[in-house]
């Protein structure tokens, strides 16, 4: 189809014909805009959570808040911006002006997690609202009772964080200083102020690039091609859904301990209905909300559902509004995945792994070539205190230790040390030197963990072991996660991964093993922090794994000689490991056992 003509005044004719080449130009330009916004964030933020781990997302939306494109450094955040964008437009109506900037984190008005604070900037062209740019990132602190934002003792939202409903912090280009100071007076760390300024800057870059695009083609041309792009993407998604046999598929995932009741366990249940070119995820049978902070929000839970589905379909489908149109998600309020006001919900993002487990288990019979075995579940820690040398407060989320291995799938081993299906590999490790610059801690060990991967014809990804010496007195440690009760599951004869654990050894020799949701204060300087993140589940019978590959992995220390013989069934001579002491070293540290087939 040919492109429409452009008038001398730059306005597009009413009858705009869709040019397929230009349609691709629009799609790729949208992506380049959000990529440039992402680069800006990485280069201008100060917190390691953002500039190193890249715990943020950048997005571009049309005037109605419909997704045009995103750069999904952390996928669980990616599908949480569009609902809020629509909410802001509905809330402010005609009071949206060029130069405005809005903040938002409120989980009870479509936010996903308190610490994930978003900035939104409306984009105007020729006096008309045409789009929005947005950035959402995990902030180092957001007020509440516990520094860093994770409070395992919380039962309601006010004990967790400062709620920021849709609020205008800049109006017509002028800072509303009273609003700005009110927000940051309730946040402990000054670094958050600077990181939110970086979010605004990234939004401004996106605004600038989008105005340049419309200046080249005009808004009528954009409107027509945007609609065509949505339609083409919808058809692509429908074609992917049509590849799933019609029917109902059900699966479960487990959550252990709500932070308040010993031995508590909760079940996420999903019923997936596939009918021709549409798919419906129904969580109505999921357990009720807890009285702790182990609850999700609709937005975080729906995001988890979408990102898990996306792992099973064509990765080349553009990420815009058309992609989500054939997908229906039902999560009743009052359930574990959609807590009612004013319940605590900080843990909600981390309900993604058991949610993903439920979906993978449900669809395994229908999509054996697309699903993965279980990924290692998150077990994370957050340390806060006073750096004795800098005489300043610090906060650190231990990204190095929280990521284990991903699950294997048919034809492919799991990724080593990627873990956290809610991140889907988006989060990066901390640089070792930067870890020691940003905190008073001293890193002692960070390495792959032998025999941590679930065995299989295709093995799971390896987990890791992390040790560091805590360098501040009276340190506060928060733990949150799972995976210390149930390892990542295997599929079709594949083996389980290994369990997570965290252990503290105080200078006096006393040991403390935190619960998977815990708050420990007064941790002394010199304490040794020891963490293992388990491996992912295996896929298929381990006895069918390529023999030469098993021998090579013994040589590289990935698999021990004992596991090669007992689990993989090797009977011939094995090569010596590259480090002859790798499989023979004995110490008193607990080790996860070799992974066997289910």
What is the per-residue pLDDT across 112-164, written as a single tens digit (0 to 9) for each? 999 999 999 999 999 999 999 999 999 999 999 999 999 999 999 999 999 99
Please report how the helices 191-217 and 219-242 are oriented relative to each other, as an axis angle in degrees rounded to 10. 110
The stretch 231-236 carries a mean pLDDT of 97
Predicted pLDDT at 580: 46
Predicted pLDDT of residue 300: 95
Q: Do residues 439 and 394 lie in contact, with contact meaning Cβ atoms separated by under 8 Å?
A: yes
Query: How high is the pLDDT of residue 573?
Result: 73
Residue 101 has what DSSP assignment? E
* Residue ranges per structural domain of the chain: 20-236, 372-598
Max avg pLDDT among 419-423, 522-526, 583-587:
522-526
C-alpha angle with apex 367: 374 to 234, nearest 5 degrees?
A: 110
pLDDT of residue 14: 53
Contacts 24+ apart (CB under 8 A), 274-277: 274/241, 274/244, 274/245, 274/246, 274/247, 274/248, 274/249, 274/366, 275/246, 276/241, 276/242, 276/246, 277/238, 277/239, 277/241, 277/242, 277/326
Look at residues 486, 544, 560 and name the one whose alpha carbon lies nearest to residue 516: 486
Q: Which of 195, 188, 190, 170 is nearest to 180 (CA)?
A: 170
SS3 for 339?
Answer: coil
- The three-state (H, E, C) secondary structure of 210-228, written as one string: HHHHHHHHCHHHHHHHHHH
Residue 61 makes CB contacts below 8 A (sequence gap 6+) with: 67, 68, 81, 82, 85, 131, 132, 133, 134
pLDDT of residue 596: 33
Alpha helices in 415-543 (DSSP H): 432-438
CB within 8 A of 179, min separation 6: which ones? Answer: 167, 168, 169
| Helix, strand and coil in the chain, % to nearest 5 | 30, 25, 45
Sheet of 442-448: strands edge to edge? 442-448, 464-469, 528-533, 501-505, 511-512
Q: What is the pLDDT of residues 403-432, one digit of tens each?
A: 899 999 999 999 999 877 766 556 677 889
Q: In sequence order, which ranges of 293-351 are alpha helices (DSSP H)? A: 298-310, 321-324
Please give the sequence-ordered ranges of beta strands (E in DSSP) within 9-80, or none if there are none.
56-62, 67-71
* pLDDT-derived band at 351, boundaries 50, 70, 90: very high
Q: Can you say how many angstroms the Cα of residue 103 is from the centroid of all Cα atoms in its chain?
A: 21
Checking if the pLDDT of 6 tops 50, the result is no
Of all residues in the chain, the percent with pLDDT exceeding 70 is: 92
Query: Is 380's pLDDT higher than 80?
Result: yes
Q: Which residue has the higher pLDDT, 401 or 473?
A: 473
Judged by phi (left if over 0) then psi (alpha if -120 to 50, else beta), residue 28 lies in: alpha
The pTM score is 0.91
pLDDT number for residue 110: 95
191 vs 44, 50, 468, CA distance in Å?
Answer: 12, 11, 24
Cβ neighbours around 262 below 10 Å, total: 7
Share of the chain above pLDDT 90, in %: 86
């Amino acid at each position: 189809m040919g492109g429409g003509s452009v008038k001398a005044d730059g306005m597009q004719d009413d009858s705009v014909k869709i040019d397929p080449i230009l349609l691709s130009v629009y799609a790729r330009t949208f992506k380049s805009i959000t990529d440039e916004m992402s680069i800006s964030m990485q280069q201008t933020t100060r917190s390691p959570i953002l500039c190193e781990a890249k715990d943020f997302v950048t997005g571009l939306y049309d005037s109605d808040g419909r997704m045009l494109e995103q750069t999904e450094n952390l996928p669980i955040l990616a599908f949480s911006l569009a609902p809020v964008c629509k909410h802001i437009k509905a809330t402010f109506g005609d009071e949206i002006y060029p130069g405005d900037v809005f903040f938002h984190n409120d989980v009870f008005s479509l936010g996903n997690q308190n610490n994930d604070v978003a900035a939104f900037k409306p984009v105007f062209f020729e006096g008309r609202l045409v789009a929005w740019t947005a950035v959402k990132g995990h902030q180092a602190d957001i007020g509440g009772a516990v520094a860093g934002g994770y409070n395992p003792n919380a039962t309601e939202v006010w004990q967790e964080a400062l709620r920021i409903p849709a609020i205008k912090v800049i109006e017509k280009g002028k800072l509303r200083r009273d609003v700005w100071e009110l927000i940051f007076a309730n946040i402990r760390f000054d670094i958050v102020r600077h990181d939110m300024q970086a979010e605004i800057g990234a939004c401004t870059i996106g605004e600038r690039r989008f105005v340049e695009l419309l200046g080249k083609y005009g808004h009528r041309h954009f409107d027509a091609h945007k609609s065509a792009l949505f339609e083409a993407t919808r058809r692509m998604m429908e074609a992917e859904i049509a590849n799933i046999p019609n029917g109902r598929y059900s699966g479960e995932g487990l959550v252990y301990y709500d932070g308040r009741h010993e031995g508590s366990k909760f079940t996420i249940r999903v019923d997936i209905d596939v009918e021709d070119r549409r798919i419906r995820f129904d969580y109505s049978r999921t357990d009720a909300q807890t009285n702790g902070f182990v609850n999700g929000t609709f937005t975080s839970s729906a995001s988890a559902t979408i990102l898990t589905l996306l792992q099973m379909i064509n990765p080349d489908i553009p990420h815009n509004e058309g992609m989500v149109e054939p997908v229906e998600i039902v999560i009743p309020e009052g359930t574990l995945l959609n807590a009612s006001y004013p319940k605590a919900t900080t843990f909600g993002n981390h309900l993604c792994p058991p949610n993903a487990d439920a979906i993978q288990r449900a669809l395994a019979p229908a999509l054996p070539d697309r699903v993965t075995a279980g990924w290692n579940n998150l077990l994370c820690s957050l340390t806060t205190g006073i750096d004795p040398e800098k005489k300043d407060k610090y906060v650190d989320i231990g990204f190095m230790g929280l990521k284990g291995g991903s699950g294997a799938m048919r034809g492919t081993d799991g990724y080593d040390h990627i873990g956290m299906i809610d991140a889907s590999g988006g989060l990066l490790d901390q640089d070792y030197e930067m870890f020691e610059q940003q905190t008073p801690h001293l890193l002692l060990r960070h390495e792959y963990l032998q025999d941590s991967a679930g065995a299989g014809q295709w093995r799971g990804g390896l987990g890791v072991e992390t040790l560091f010496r805590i360098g501040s007195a009276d340190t506060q440690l928060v733990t949150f996660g799972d995976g210390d009760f149930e390892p990542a599951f295997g599929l079709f004869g594949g083996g389980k991964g290994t369990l997570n654990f965290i252990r503290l050894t105080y200078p006096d020799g006393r040991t403390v093993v935190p619960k998977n949701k815990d708050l420990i204060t007064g941790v002394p300087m010199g304490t040794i922090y020891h963490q293992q993140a388990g491996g992912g589940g295996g896929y298929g019978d381990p006895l069918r794994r390529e023999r030469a590959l098993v021998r090579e992995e013994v040589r590289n220390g990935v698999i021990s000689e004992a596991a090669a013989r007992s689990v993989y069934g090797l009977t011939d001579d094995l090569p010596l490991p590259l480090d002859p002491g790798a499989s023979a070293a004995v110490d008193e540290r607990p080790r996860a056992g070799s992974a066997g087939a289910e």
